[in-house]
Structure 1
Amino acid sequence: MFREDGRKKDEIKQIIIKNLNSYTYLKQGNTHVRVKSDGPKEGNKLNISMVFSKSSRQEQINEKRIFELETEIYNIFNNIILTDNNIDIEIEVIQEDGSLISTIVNCVTLNLCYIGVPLIDFPCSITYSRFQDLTLCEEQGRNFFINVVWLMNREKIVYFKSLGRVTQEVLQKINEEGFLGCKKIYQQLKSFLISI
């Protein structure tokens, strides 16, 4: 069975990564994010700012959604970054087509690694339901989907958000598949960092 974009059930999106002038660009399928981090520098605060490019969505992005996303990203990285200094992370969503939180987390991770910010482990994220690495249509057409961030070396979940209803039995099965999908993404992110 093939999905609307031609992928199989357990197939992740095509990943394209570029580093340019301290920016990291990450495309997971048609979701495209750009991140720039500044630091560590004097102070002891993690600052997250996010903007949506005008071309990223047809509809208006409200301030509440941006604040919620900034807060989620802050909460994910605040306990992963190993520094007491200031770090400013600027996120631009250039295009959105599902798996947004996951693409942002993966792009922030790559950028922090690229500029040498120490992390307790390598965080990697995926959005899934019965399929892996969802598109926006798949997110909107499902009864439920899950955003998760794993620390890959420890195989520990540091962020888990389920949207919709799912039974415990189904959840256990798809969590195992979700971790396998996250490993596929992790291998591509890791390969990129090794190559630069």
Structure 2
Amino acid sequence: MSRNKELLSKIGLRLDGRRANELRRIRCKLGVFGQPDGSAYLEQGLTKVLAAVYGPHQVRGNKSKARHDECILNCQFSMAVFSTSERKKRPRGDRKSTEMSLHLHQALLSVIKTELYPWSQIDVYVEVLHADGGVYSACVNAATLALIDAGIPLKEYVCSCTASLANNDIPMVDIAHQEEMLGGATLTVAAMPMSGKIVLMEMSQRFHMDHLSKVMEKALQGCKDIKVILDQAIRDHVKDVGCSTGWANTNQKVGR
């Protein structure tokens, strides 16, 4: 019997009470720090992420890296030592963190208008405070908010979401850690929801071709739904600039 059988009950509910097409609750806040040029805090379910943006500023270190036609984008991913049940010995610099930094760089580089800042550099730092599934997706979404808070011109939002299969043939969106452990392959997609362009796609395991298209469609729909939530958070933040702001809270479940 496949472990996927356990992911959906007979009445179509997941382990945390969501339907297959429902996102976890997303809460986010912009401008959480004063020192960076832009910052954001995002909770996606129990996954909690901080993002900070510095720049554009003069290229630091080796000046020969500076480019005359675009800025340099530096992305660094790290996880707090207390972010998982097993304490990490190295919060950054390990193989996984390096890979996540590269994937984050790929997603953000696709939307930042780098040509507007020649001879400059933009630094994006993302730290995971608590990991409970969909870590990369939460990092992309938090970094997008931080870039917008920093006033960096973007072509459009870049959002990320995960999807998988339940009961061998039912696609479900926004996979939590427990579902990742009990389920099968997980598809992670980073996309530009408005244009529908996919900028990164990664599978934890192989999908059968009969299932890949519907799982990808579910992940893309998740990106579109997340974009709506992030957009509303930014609009609320703009209205409340200069005031003591509360949470941009999305208590309602989003799904189609």
- Quickly name the TM-score band, shorter chain normalised: over 0.9
1:17 is aligned to 28
Question: Is 1:36 the counterpart of 2:77 in the alignment?
Answer: no
Q: What does 1:34-73 align with in structure 2 at a 5 Å threshold? A: 34-43=50-59, 44-61=71-88, 63-73=94-104
For residues 47 and 170 of structure 1, the distance between their equivalents in structure 2, rounded to whole angstroms, comes to: 36
Task: State the 4+ residue runs in structure 1 displaced beyond 6 angstroms.
Answer: none
Report the AA paired with residue 75 of structure 2. I
Shift of 1:60: 4.2
Which has the larger displacement, 161-170 or 102-111?
161-170
Shift of 1:142: 2.1
**Higher RCO (CA < 8 A, seq sep 6+):** 2
Structure 1 gap ranges (5+): none
Identical columns (%): 29
Q: What does 1:113-192 align with in structure 2 at a 5 Å threshold? A: 113-129=148-164, 130-192=171-233
Which has the larger displacement, 135-144 or 57-66?
57-66
SS at match of 2:213: helix
Report the AA paired with residue 85 of structure 2. Q
Q: Is this contact kept in 1: 2:106–2:199, CA < 8 A?
A: no
1:108 is aligned to 143
For residues 96 and 49 of structure 2, the distance between their equivalents in structure 1, rounded to whole angstroms, comes to: 16
SS at match of 2:125: strand
SS at match of 1:35: strand
For residues 34 and 156 of structure 1, the distance between their equivalents in structure 2, rounded to whole angstroms, comes to: 26
SS at match of 1:131: strand
Which has the larger displacement, 72-81 or 99-108?
72-81
For residues 116 and 148 of structure 1, the distance between their equivalents in structure 2, rounded to whole angstroms, comes to: 25
Report the AA paired with residue 154 of structure 2. L
For residues 225 and 107 of structure 2, the distance between their equivalents in structure 1, rounded to whole angstroms, comes to: 21
Count of aligned positions: 196
Shift of 1:42: 2.1
Q: Is this contact kept in 1: 2:39–2:145, CA < 8 A?
A: no
Report the AA paired with residue 41 of structure 2. Y
For residues 189 and 181 of structure 1, the distance between their equivalents in structure 2, rounded to whole angstroms, comes to: 12
TM-score of the two chains, using structure 1 as the length reference: 0.94
TM-score of the two chains, using structure 2 as the length reference: 0.73
CA-to-aligned-CA distance 1:134-178 (integer Å, 9 cap, x gap): 101111222211010111221111111112121122111222222
Shift of 1:5: 1.0
Q: Is this contact kept in 2: 1:143–1:165, CA < 8 A?
A: no
For residues 19 and 110 of structure 2, the distance between their equivalents in structure 1, rounded to whole angstroms, comes to: 35
2:13 is aligned to 2
For residues 193 and 148 of structure 1, the distance between their equivalents in structure 2, rounded to whole angstroms, comes to: 22
Shift of 1:107: 0.3
CA-to-aligned-CA distance 1:43-90 (integer Å, 9 cap, x gap): 332112222112201224451111111111112222321124211111
Report the AA paired with residue 212 of structure 2. L
Q: Is this contact kept in 2: 1:124–1:182, CA < 8 A?
A: yes
